[in-house]
Every structure is written in structure tokens, then in C-alpha cells.
Amino acid sequence: MNKNIAQTLADTFNRRSFLTKASIGLGSLALGSLLPRTIFSNPAPASPLLAPNRAPKAKRIVYLCQSGGPSQLELFDYKPFLDKMHGKDLPDSVRKGQRLTGMSAQQSALPLVRSPYQFAQHGQSGAWVSELMPYTSHVADEVCFIKSMFTEQINHDPALTFFQTGNQLAGRPSIGSWISYGLGSANENLPAFIVLVSKNAPQDQPLYARLWGNGFLPSKHQGVQFRSGADPVLYLNNPNGYSTADRRSMLDALNDLNQAQEEIYGDPDVANRIAQYEMAFRMQTSVPEVNDLSDEPDWVFDLYGPEARNPGTFAANCLMARRLLERDVKFVQLYHQGWDQHGDLPKGLSRQCKATDQPSAALVQDLKQRGLLDDTIVIWGGEFGRTNYSQGKLTKDNYGRDHHPRCFTIWMAGGGVKPGITYGETDEFGYNIAHNPVHVHDFQATLLHLMGIDHEKLTFEFQGRRFRLTDVEGKVVKGILA
């Protein structure tokens, strides 16, 4: 430490602070003499738990978020009754006065629409999957389909924010940030929480960085977005003419200043700032290594599909997700937009399925063949589903579907999730839940449970209140646990 910094510390080190710091230091020395020396060989993660509350079923999560609300009625929730009711108005006895969006609330009629796509049962589980998802049908016995998801949010932004943060209002920590805060990182050279966004998906609904933000948690738990191209992480590379040794020297000097500030002011954010600088320095080596796909054989690219060689596509991001999971990144979040088919649904939905079906199934297969699926949770789903009636005019060849939060389908695989089952059921109209409803907070509580965390114990005090991902709700869905 240089003389100026040392003098500043001396000037501010009065009798009271000396006694306080000295007493703490003596206690630390005494404790250290009692503990085995090996306990200090690997620093523990900065975590409120330090260890899970219970034995975890999973070590990591990959969340394939399909932003916009995929239509469950065309993909997974087979409703042959709608064939008979096609074109007829949705009965009031089924709707039960439930809220509609402003986009269809003024329609004079709500004509029911059958799916034009063929469904078939697949695998030993006999799961119903549409012809739009041929690759997903091949992994049906690895998957748990939850057909009874529901939420209170009927519009995209609050619904997606609710799924990702546990609250419809912006500003809360995301799921990945909570996982990072609760369990720390198993790889000191990569962030615990990494985000990938498809570059070629339709931009029908915006995505905001706050969806993977840390909220009121320490900033080191924020999701780090990896982009396609020469600079996967912005501002990570050294400027021209600036060497690694220069960066190391600069960081050493900056750390001296930050440590001095921490000593003087006791600012808890300083330690987080230092940790982020050091992580960025290590990532200068680790990110190019994980981003180099030259060691991937051709059969792997073929497994993920023709777009897997095109960086930034959903297929390429699924492959990148597997490489990150192999390196023990705790939470990998993929976002793929374009599922908001209010009109021209047959064309738009087919395009989306073509882009996502093969890579999603390939990720499950790839993780399994590498022995990673047993302790990795794979999630596929959007923020809500679609209505069983047509938004706007229903024609012979075209229709759209509005937002429907009352029931929709997601699927999960691996990591302690019971494979080859369908959980929950909707009514014959596909409008209401008939059995085993699963709320968004239940889904979040179950994810934390599988990671070994009691969702009621993972809390953070902010502005005088203890917050948690599931707020004051949520129960573990035991019926989907292996």
C-alpha cells in the first residue's frame, strides 16, 4: 500500500475504531488457531447458506425461456373436444367472467379454434406432443410436462417479470441472482449466472436487462450477458496497446484504493466491486476458452441442428449453454422471443418451432449422454399461454390467439424431476385447470427445493423487510419430484 493511503488510514484510525478492530482481529486469530488449516484452502462462496438446507437433487439450472407465450393448444395440450366446438362461441359457463386483454375484450364473439396440427402419443409415457415438435417427442420419456401452470399476470412485461423475479413490478432480483446469492459459484473463473439471448428471433416483445438483474442483492450476483461475435462480454478485452500485465498492475493499484475506502467507510459494496474486477480479469482467459467451439465434433453440431454453427442463434446458444454447464456455471438463462401470435398463428408458430424444437431436445440428449442430466434441471416455457378462442377474425386458414394466464404448459427435465410424466390437467375446453394447479411461486419454490434450498429460508433484508423469491407464497410441487 502506498504512503498516502497508509497516512489516510492512520489519520482515521482513532481509539474507538482501534479497540473495535483489534478485538475482532484477536477473536479471528483465536478462532483460526482452533480450526483445521485445510478449512482455509478453498474460500467459501459468498453466500448466506454456505451449504444447501438439504441434500440437493440438482447442481445447476438451464432455463430456456420462450418469451411471448407459446400456444399450449398447438404444442402439448391436446384437446379433441375443440374439433367439435370449432367456430362456436366460448360459453359463459366456461369463461366464468375471467379477465380478457384489451385486444379481445371488445370482440362481439369469441369463436373457439381447434388446432390444425396432428397430435400423437410418444414414448413409454404416452405423452401427447404435436407434429410441430418432432424432436421434443423423441425425448418425451425424459420430460415432465406440467399442463396446469397459471399466473395472475395477463400482459407480457409483468408476466415475464413475475416469472423471472417473483414479482410483477421491476426491481426484484431474478431467479439466477437468488441462486447465485444462495449457493455461490462452483467455478471461480466464470460468473455463477450467465444469460444468452437469441439474435435472430422475432422482436415482438422487448427484453430488458432487469430480467436478469440483481435487484437489491449485491451486484456481483447480476446475470452476465454473453453475446455473439468477437466480444462475448462487453468491455472485457484490453484496449489496443494495453497488455495483461498492465491490467494486472492497474487492478492491484485499484484494489489498494478500494481496500482503503472499505477500511475508512466500511462500505459493503467495495468488496463486491473488488470481486467483480477480479472476475473480469480471470474471464479474459476463461471466456475465450469456453467460446472456442473448435473442439466440438461435427456430430454435436448435427445434433443441435443447422443453426448451431451460427453464433447467437437459439441452437448455438443451446450448445453454448451445455459448455457453460460443463464448467459448473450454476444458472444459465436463454431467452428466445417471437411467441406472441395474436394473428397469423400457423405461420408464426411453425417458424418458432423450427428454430427451437431440435436444439431444445438436443440439449436434453447431450446432457444425458455426458452424465450431466441427473444433476441439471432443464426448463422450457413462456410467461403464459394462449386462449382457446381466436383473437380477431377466424378464417379457414388463419387465426390468432390472445394471452391466457389461467392455464398453460411448460416442461422440465433432469435434476430430480420425475421423467416421463404429465402433471396437471385442463378442462376439455383447455380454458381452466381441472386438476393439480401449479402457480408461478410453486414453480419457483420447487426449483429452489431441487437445488437444496428451502424457499422460505432464502431471504434478504432490504429497507426493513425480509424479501424472498416466492414472497409470502409458494409450495413445493411434490408430485413432480423423482
pTM to 2 decimal places: 0.86
Give the chain's radius of gyration (CA, Å). Answer: 25
Cell 443447422 -> residue: 306
Are 225 and 191 a contacting pair, CB within 8 Å? Answer: no
For residue 475, name the pLDDT band (cuts at 50, 70, 90): very high
CA–CA separation, 147 vs 426, rounded Å?
Answer: 7
Average pLDDT, the chain: 88
| pLDDT (mean) for 68-87 | 98
Q: What is the pLDDT of residue 80?
A: 98
Encode pLDDT of 223-270 as tens digits.
Answer: 999 988 777 787 677 777 777 787 787 777 877 787 777 777 777 777
Q: How many residues does the chain have?
A: 482
Average pLDDT on 170-198 reads 95
Short-list 37, 116, 16, CA closest to 397? 116
Q: Taking the CB of residue 411, how many other CB atoms lie within 10 A of it?
A: 27
**Between these two residues, 257 and 294, which has the higher pLDDT value?**
294
Strand-pair partners of 335 = 65, 197
- Spatial contact of 244 and 238, defined as CB atoms under 8 Å apart: yes
Whether residue 169 is predicted with pLDDT greater than 50 in this model: the reply is yes
Query: Do residues 272 and 218 lie in contact, with contact meaning Cβ atoms separated by under 8 Å?
Result: yes
Q: Which of 482, 475, 446 is nearest to 175 (CA)?
A: 446
Strand 193-197 to 224-226 pairing:
parallel
Instruction: Determine the pLDDT at residue 41.
Output: 36
The secondary structure of 59-127 as a DSSP string is SEEEEEEETT---HHHHT---THHHHHTTSBPPHHHHTT----TTTTT-S--BB---SS-EEEETTTTE
Predicted pLDDT at 231: 78
Q: Which tens digit of pLDDT belongs to each residue from 297-309?
A: 999 999 999 999 9
Number of neighbours of residue 260 by Cβ within 10 angstroms? 19
| Residues 147/479, Cβ–Cβ less than 8 Å | no
Q: Averaged over 354-372, what is the pLDDT?
A: 98
**Cα–Cα distance for residue pair 191/224, rounded to 1 Å:** 7
Cross-strand bridge partners of residue 129: 120
The torsion angles phi and psi of 422, rounded to 5 degrees, stand at: -115, 125
pLDDT digits (tens, 9 = 90+) for 414-430: 999 999 999 999 999 99
Q: Is-contact 321 354, C-beta < 8 A?
A: no
